[in-house]
Chain A
Amino acid sequence: MMEEKKLSDIRAMVKSHERPARTGRKLGEEVFFRSLMNIASVLIVGVMGIILLSIFYKGVSTFSWSMLLEDMGSGFYLNRGGGIKNAIIGSLYLSLSATLLALLVGLACALCMNVYLVRHRRILNAARFLLDLIWGVPSIIYGAFGFSLMVFFGIKTSLLAGIITVTLFILPIMIRAIDEVMKTVPAGLSESVLSMGSTRSELSYKVYLRQCFPGIVTAVLLAFGRAIGDAASVLYVTGESARTPTSLMDNVTTLPVAIYNQINSPHAATQDKAYASAFILTLVILAISLLSRYISKRYQKYRIY
């Protein structure tokens, strides 16, 4: 009985302290921070818009179709005419092969972690930890490392050296993206496939690849976008060339590096070509990102569950 009386006292005490739920100060604070938040978001969208608009504006006014059809030729940076066909083709060769290589190794890695290593929690965690570590390593370091590899193996600057370097650079990105998707495959699915008498490698190919197909495609496009847009990693290893490469051992100038060189040229006309080239590169990147959105939506239905 004592306690009950006390409860009503306590409740009366709390009640007497009660203040209105919404005071001016509280409301003001919320309004203030909410407007800051809106400003932040508007700023982000706005800056994105400004960047795209100015790249497009500058790019469209300097673009000509002949740029896509002609090689640079000698004296390109000295304003002797020429296009960026060799840079575009070179970039495509480089990033397509690097993406393909990284896909092969990356798939194997992701499958290894999700199919074979799942039984060894500690090793798996350690592996993921190491992958997380290299995931954030900036591309310039791969550039420097690729250069020292090149010197070590006695290879000259070439498309091949570029491919190897870029492959190393996009590998962690690729693996992480695929791993994220594969992690979501329910354990029950692989258990039931294994219990039907499949070997682990068959499990990998039949279940994981099919199940994760849209995710893998997205990962490939993500890695390809990184590969084609990066300049710092290939600055050291591909050399320079004014012609479209014809073999793996040819030197090659990639599109981002070409942009960098053009904008640093003292000639206004060459700088203009840099704007046009930047415009082309941005278009390619936007197309890739659109494609990956479309594909990840479209192929959602091929998932088994």
Chain B
Amino acid sequence: MNISSHRRTRDRVVTVLTYAAMVFVLLLPFALFVGLAVKSDLLFREHSLGDLLFSSVWRPSSGEFGFKPFIVGSVYVTLLAMLISCPICLLSAIHITQYAPTRVAKVVTTAIDILAGIPSVVYGVWGMVGVVPFVGKIAGWCGIQSNGYSILAGGIVLSIMVVPFILNILMEIYRTIPRELTEVSLSLGATRWETIRDVLNRKALPGILAAFGFGFARAFGETMAVLMVVGNVVKIPEGLFDPGYPLPALIANSFGELGSIPEIESALMFAALILLVVVLIFNATLRWLIIKAERY
């Protein structure tokens, strides 16, 4: 062997360290789950899972922890955001990848990169300055009493925040469709639009759905910006202009109360656990679907 012992030792040390880092990272998802689950154990001593998830009464001082308003609030805000964001992302993705000249495509992708970089808190500030008064005004026109801090404001801000995320996935999907498929369809006598509508979109469909799913999971956990515009009233929202109180906002907002009631710490960890489980289930299912779709 012409490998010196020095080199061999170094190789061994580096190898061990590398594997150690790998194992550490791979344990992270389990650590997250276990850590949060252990902490929320206290809550389960006196409440059943069903109670926690489906009760609407949130009175920490008298030991009642119903998470339903927060879960429903989260779902509403997220769905609202997706409703605004998904069609825009889909249209823009097709525009950028199929129609737009290189220059235009560059402008839009740069805009997306910038949107992706803006921190959550800055979106929140902008939401409070720009979106909330605007929503308040619209509510006024509709004859509804609202200061603008509402699930609609949350949905609007959130929809802008997930645009870069969804759009980047969608563009990637359209770009990986082989060009020959377009060529084939065009040479069958389809117009460009018919090709996109009947062939490309159909080919991209699993990917599009996955992109929307990932977008949902991403939006579901978004915290600061939503927290700043959504109103944070513990009540199941009944209209667009009602305030809501999503799960992440609950966790971020209740830090001050941590010392007061022992159970509240456990309740917040449980809220984080719900978030984690939802996100993990979404991601796992979608990954699995994508792998299946690739094989097919």
Interface residues of A (CB under 8 A from B): 21-22, 26, 29-30, 33-34, 36-41, 43-45, 47-52, 54-55, 58, 104-105, 108-109, 111-113, 115-117, 127, 129-145, 148-149, 152, 168, 171-172, 175, 197, 199-202, 204, 225, 228-232, 235-236, 256-257, 259-260, 263, 274-275, 278, 281-282, 285-286, 288-289
Task: Return chain A residues, CB-CB under 8 Å to B20.
Answer: 108
Q: In the bound complex, how far is the Cα of B104 from the Cα of A38, in angstroms?
A: 10
Given contacts A130-B29, A141-B36, A278-B122, contact A199 B8 (CB under 8 A): yes
Given contacts A40-B95, A144-B268, contact A58 B129 (CB under 8 A): yes
Task: Return chain A residues, CB-CB under 8 Å to B122.
Answer: 55, 229, 259, 278, 281-282
Give the contact stretch, choosing among B52-60, B62-70, B111-119, B237-245: B111-119
Task: Enumerate the 6 nearest inter-chain pairs by beta-carbon distance, A residue then B residue, closest first.
Answer: A138-B221, A229-B119, A108-B21, A37-B95, A144-B272, A201-B14
Q: In the bound complex, how far is the Cα of B252 from the Cα of A291, in angstroms?
A: 32
Q: Mark B117-147, 1 if CB is under 8 A from A, else 0.
A: 1111111111011100000000000000000
Q: In the bound complex, how far is the Cα of B20 from the Cα of A112, in angstroms?
A: 10
Task: Return chain A residues, CB-CB under 8 Å to B269.
Answer: 144, 148
Task: Determine if A26 and B111 form an interchain contact, defined as CB atoms under 8 angstroms apart.
Answer: no
Task: Tell whether B184 is near chain A: CB-to-CB under 8 Å.
Answer: no
Q: In the bound complex, how far is the Cα of B95 from the Cα of A44, in angstroms?
A: 12
Pick from A41, A51, A141: contact of B272, CB below 8 A: A141
Q: Which residue, B14, B21, B128, B255, has most C-beta atoms of chain A within 10 A? A: B21
Q: In the bound complex, how far is the Cα of B196 from the Cα of A29, in angstroms?
A: 12
Task: Determine if A171 and B14 form an interchain contact, defined as CB atoms under 8 angstroms apart.
Answer: no
Task: Determine if A140 and B252 form an interchain contact, defined as CB atoms under 8 angstroms apart.
Answer: yes
Given A201-B10, A229-B121, A232-B223; 20 other pairs, CB 8 A cutoff: A36-B91, A37-B99, A41-B100, A44-B163, A51-B115, A109-B22, A109-B25, A134-B29, A138-B222, A138-B275, A138-B279, A141-B36, A148-B36, A199-B8, A201-B14, A202-B7, A204-B18, A231-B224, A259-B125, A263-B228
Give the contact stretch, choosing among B43-51, B174-182, B280-288: B280-288
Interface residues of B (CB under 8 A from A): 2-3, 7-8, 10-11, 14-15, 17-22, 24-26, 28-29, 31-32, 35-36, 38-39, 87-89, 91-92, 94-96, 99-100, 104, 107-108, 111-115, 117-126, 128-130, 160, 163, 167, 189, 191-194, 197, 214, 217-218, 220-224, 228, 248, 251-252, 255, 268-269, 271-272, 275-276, 279-280, 282-284, 287
Task: Return chain B residues, CB-CB under 8 Å to A109.
Answer: 18, 21-22, 25
Q: In the bound complex, how far is the Cα of B123 from the Cα of A47, in angstroms?
A: 12
Given contacts A40-B92, A137-B280, A199-B8, contact A21 B22 (CB under 8 A): no
Q: In the bound complex, how far is the Cα of B88 from the Cα of A265, in angstroms?
A: 35
